[in-house]
Amino acid sequence: MASEVTDAALIARVVVHDDRHAFSELVRRHQSAVRATLRRLTAGNHALADDLAQDTFMLAYRNLKSFRQEARFPTWLYRIATNAFLADARKRKEELLGDRDANLVDDDDNEAPNPEAQGGDHARGAALKLDLERAMAILSDAERAAIVQCYHNDLSHEEAAYVLDCPVGTVKTHILRAKQKLKSRLAAWAPE
């Protein structure tokens, strides 16, 4: 059965025989994780996330021969996806910053976190989740990437450093700063 074939075996078939069916199986297996990660990185822009996910798998196909198993295959995909996101973000920086500033003004005016307005625990939890997603948008691209890799993708600092292509210390700094920003932004949710 296809599900019993390991990623390594599928990769070997793609590299040696240019087996398209094996590559499509790899895409099918990992598309959800890669797209979900990019949705987080793009702060919920699903269309952009899917475009970047396509670019990610195209790059993975072209560079599969250079994959030396120095990391797990999904981690290698996260690295390509994060690089694609950061490159795209650099390209769109001015436009993104403009949009984000506008959104922040709107958020500050109309959608500031208000835990008191929520009812039961379930409603409070859902509201906190929504506010957290919005607050993620105020982080820098690198800070958001560090949070997404370490929390959402459950990578170690070392793995996140590999994905972000930076020293481990830089990852820790990004996380610390991101948490400070989130804490400040979500101060209304802090217990008394």
Residue ranges that bind another protein, judged by CB under 8 A: 18, 20, 23-24, 27-28, 31-32, 35-36, 40, 50, 53-54, 57-58, 61, 125, 128-129, 132-133, 147, 150-157, 172, 175-176, 179, 182-183, 186, 189-191
**In the complex, what is the shortest distance from the CB of residue 122 to another protein, in angstroms, rounded to a whole number?**
12
Q: Are 160 and 150 spatial neighbours (Cβ–Cβ below 8 Å)?
A: yes
**Residue 72 CB, nearest approach to another protein (Å):** 15
100-109 contacts at long range (C-beta below 8 A, 24 or more positions apart): 100/137, 100/138, 103/137, 104/138, 107/134
Nearer to another protein, 101 or 180 (CB): 180
Q: Quick one: 119 or 191, whose CB is closer to another protein?
A: 191
Supply φ then ψ for residue 52, to 5 degrees. -65, -35
Using the minimum distance from each CB to another protein, give the nearer residue, 50 or 102.
50
Q: Least distance from C-beta 32 to another protein, angstroms?
A: 4
Which residue lies nearer to another protein by CB, 24 or 98?
Answer: 24
CA-closest candidate to residue 84, choices 178, 179, 175, 165: 165
105/114 with CB nearer another protein? 114
Minimum distance, C-beta of residue 28 to another protein, in the bound complex (Å) = 5
| Least distance from another protein to the Cβ atom of residue 12, Å | 18
Residue 69 makes CB contacts below 8 A (sequence gap 6+) with 8
Q: How far is the CB of 151 from another protein (least distance, A)?
A: 4
- The nearer residue to another protein, 104 or 168, going by C-beta atoms, is 168
120-156 burial: b if 16+ Cβ within 10 Å, else e: eeeeeeebbeebeebbbbbbebbbbbbbbbbeebebe
Specify burial of residue 174 (Cβ count, 10 A radius: 0-12, 13-18, 19+): buried
CA angle at 22 for the pair 18 and 28, rounded to the nearest 5°: 135
